Amino acid sequence: MGGMNPPSPLSLNGSWAFRFEEGALLADAARPDFEPACTIAVPACFDTLPDWYLRRGVGLYRRGFRLDRDVPAAWLEVAGMGLVGAFWLDGRPIGESALPYSTLRLPTGPLAAGEHVLAAALGNRLDEPRLTLAKPYYDFYLYGGFYHGVSLVFDDRALRVRTRDVRDGTVEIEAVRFPEPDFDATLVFDGRSAVPAAFRGGRATVRVPDFRLWSPDSPNLHTVELVDHPDHQDHPDHPDHPDHPTIRTKFGIRTIEARSGRLFLNGEPLYLRGANRHEAHPTFGAATPDAVMLADIQNLRSLGANFVRGAHYPQADRFLELCDEHGLLVWEETLGWGNGTAWNDRAQTEFARPEFLADNLAQARRMVEKSFNHPSVILFGFLNEFESATPAGKAIADRIIAQIRAFDSGRLVTFACNHNDSDVANENTDVVSFNTYPGWIGSDPGTPEHLKELMEKDLAGIVAYFRSKWPDKPILVSEMGTCGEYGRHDAAAAQWTEEFEAEYLADAARAVAARPEISGFTVWQLTDCRSFHRGGATVRCKPFAENLAGIYDGYRRPKLPVVAAVRAAFASPRMTASS
């Protein structure tokens, strides 16, 4: 079952030869034999760097690497890129992608020992013909470049772990992309406890020795390593063979359920309190380093949050690892924003393109595969604020839901809805989630008393509609918030000040907490981020080309009145009673 022990993954991060073709489309500029103009760091977003700041076009990349021995197979792994890409190895094409933010794994075939050359072309124009998942009308900036690194891996096998019983630590291990579905093996848990396992149909059910549950309060993680046991000692996979191959993964034991209108984690009632987070920073764009990710998690935890929504695209694997380690629950979703909506003539025709559905299904599949063993991920979502009040929108939702559920990953399925009096696409979701901005988008706040009344009336109407349609589904506020400029103050809480944002979020939290039907409150948003560069009047407006609704600014500086308001809200009895 395999052969010689594959080499460890080879990092291809660092300095690459680079050339930027401004204004070009991928089809016109993509080539592996370009003349370099300079070097560039990988990972990085090229359109955050001074020489190409906010410019659209194609970035051409090239670097060499050396293998010390022949390998029978390898895969190029790209940990998120934007927005479309083409890749070559030793001058031959090995793949293309139009799935921004997704982790890519492109097969290279066998590779000989010696020197090799990898080249890539990444385009960030929003009118790329093949690009269906990223559009100019999206209310956030879409960056070009390699977001979180590039590597060459030499083993495509994987283990998927499903929690089957939290009472006794029973898990099901699925052996993915193994040559044979039926084999006997030893599973070593946490580096010390060996358990025999009989894989049939690629799956084996075992109990984890000395198991501990994963939860926000106790984020316990286990490891499992699969050791093959063929019969013959001279077989390369025999445990006594010096090149004996193993495969390992981290996982957590936990369950998430939706029943009787409530959420349950490991059988206990759960109330979600958190914020939406964009993978964005003024200096790094979408290529946020570990320290920024960790700062965001620490800020969320200091607020009393137990939850983050990754808006509006698949999340970096490293971010999810940190959420696993720090006990932060996660909603992860496919890329989308307002797709198919009647108010936007650029979006109306999207549902008719076969490529739109195909790309959504492909991204949903890759998202679930990548995040399968992350216990922090409890919700999978898709297509933020799409046209969910039409049969066409429901048809697409049903296809994506079926794609996600086919993996039996132990997650609940939802989407952020803003058709809050006409939605039909939640028929097959597990959780009803909605976005609303009373007193901010579509209406003015008026006096403090008027703002409170607006919120109470708005939430009452939305909850009544969804309860009438789906009385047994949990309801979650997936977005609610307003904007305040960092450092802008006003004693009378004028709009766009920190005081107004603090007042708004405090009132929103009180209004949400007063609705017993609601199972969670997700602030829009954790940090300020770049949005429409020179537009956006239809969604209020975007001063300084930014969405200023962050509890923190883009550099993670706290808006102190806002931080205090959110911290107090998350500490309220209603939001902590069932956690």
pLDDT in tens, 20-50: 999 999 999 999 999 999 999 999 999 999 9
What is the gyration radius of the CA atoms in the chain, in angstroms? Answer: 24
Q: Among the listed ranges 318-327, 503-512, 533-542, which one has the minimum average pLDDT value?
A: 533-542
pLDDT value, residue 578: 58
- In angstroms, the CA 208 to CA 202 distance is 18
Tokens of 502: 């603090």
**What are the residue ranges of helices labelled H in 256-390?**
290-303, 317-326, 354-371
Q: Which pLDDT belongs to residue 5? A: 62
- Percent of residues, the chain, with pLDDT higher than 70: 93
Residue range 296-327, pLDDT digits in tens? 999 999 999 999 999 999 999 999 999 999 99
What's the average model confidence in pLDDT over 362-378?
98
DSSP state of 52: G
Task: Please tell me whether residue 78 adopts helix, strand or coil conformation.
Answer: strand
Side chain identity at residue 206, one-letter code: V
Return d(Cα 542, Cα 535) in angstroms, integer.
7
pLDDT tens for each residue of 168-181: 999 999 999 999 99
Instruction: Using the predicted structure, report yes or no on whether residue 241 has a pLDDT greater than 50.
Output: no
Q: Mean pLDDT, to the nearest integer, of 12-26?
A: 98
For tokens 């008719």, what's the residue? 352
Return the percentage of the chain with pLDDT > 90, whole number: 88
Which residue segments constitute the domains of the chain, with CATH numbers given? 10-153 (2.60.120.260), 158-251 (2.60.40), 256-576 (3.20.20.80)
Angle at 370 between CA 338 and CA 162, to 5 degrees: 115
Model confidence at 539: pLDDT above 80: no
DSSP 357-420: HHHHHHHHHHHHHHHTT-TTEEEEE-SBT--TTSHHHHHHHHHHHHHHHTT--S-EE--EE--T
Q: Report helix, strand or coil for 347.
A: coil
For 121-137, what is each residue's pLDDT tens digit? Answer: 999 999 999 999 999 88
Q: Cα(78)–Cα(20) distance, rounded to whole angstroms? A: 20
Q: What is the pLDDT of residue 534?
A: 72
CA neighbor of 251 nearest in space, from 150, 320, 330? 320
- Strand partners for 194: 188
253: tokens are: 């034991």
Distance CA 6, CA 72 (A): 9
Query: Could you tell me the pLDDT band of residue 66, with boundaries at 50, 70 and 90?
Result: very high
Asked if residues 236 and 2 have their Cβ atoms less than 8 Å apart, the reply is yes
pLDDT at 234: 39
Q: DSSP for 407-451, please give it.
A: T--S-EE--EE--TTT--GGGG-SSEEEE--TTTSSS---SHHHH
Helical (H) or strand (E) element with 509:
helix 498-513
Tokens of 6: 């594959």
Nearest-angstrom CA–CA distance, 284 and 221: 30
In DSSP notation, 214-246 reads B-SSSB--EEEEEEE--S-TTSTTSTTSTT--E
Q: What is the pLDDT of residue 536?
A: 62
**What CA–CA distance (Å, rounded) separates 208 from 192?**
11
Mean pLDDT computed over 559-574: 95
> Omega of the bond prior to 43 within 30 degrees of 0, cis?
yes
* Burial of 321 (C-beta count, 10 Å sphere; 0-12/13-18/19+): middle
Residue 89 binned pLDDT confidence (cut-offs 50, 70, 90): very high
Could you count the other beta carbons within 10 Å of the beta carbon of residue 130? 15
Buried b (16+ CB within 10 A) or exposed e, 512-534: bbebebbbbbbbbbbbbbbbbee
Q: Give yes or no for a contact between 65 and 116, defined as CB atoms under 8 angstroms apart.
A: yes
Mean pLDDT of the chain: 93
440 in Cβ contact with 472 (< 8 Å): no
Name the pLDDT band for 222 (thresholds 50, 70, 90).
very high
Give the per-residue pLDDT at 544: 86
Average pLDDT, integer, range 460-474 = 98
pLDDT per residue over 334-353, tens digit each? Answer: 999 999 986 666 666 889 88
Checking if the pLDDT of 540 tops 80, the result is no
Q: Please enumerate in sequence order all residues whose Cβ is within 8 A of that of 307, keeping only pairs 6 or more positions apart, or say none.
A: 272, 273, 274, 328, 329, 330, 331, 520, 522
572 or 310, higher pLDDT: 310
pLDDT at residue 3, rounded to an integer: 47
Whether the CB-CB separation of 48 and 283 falls below 8 Å is answered with yes
Handedness of CA 113, 2, 179, 404 (dihedral sign): negative
Residue-wise pLDDT for 252-309, tens only, equals 999 999 999 999 999 999 999 999 999 999 999 999 999 999 999 999 999 999 999 9
User: Does residue 329 register a pLDDT over 50?
Assistant: yes
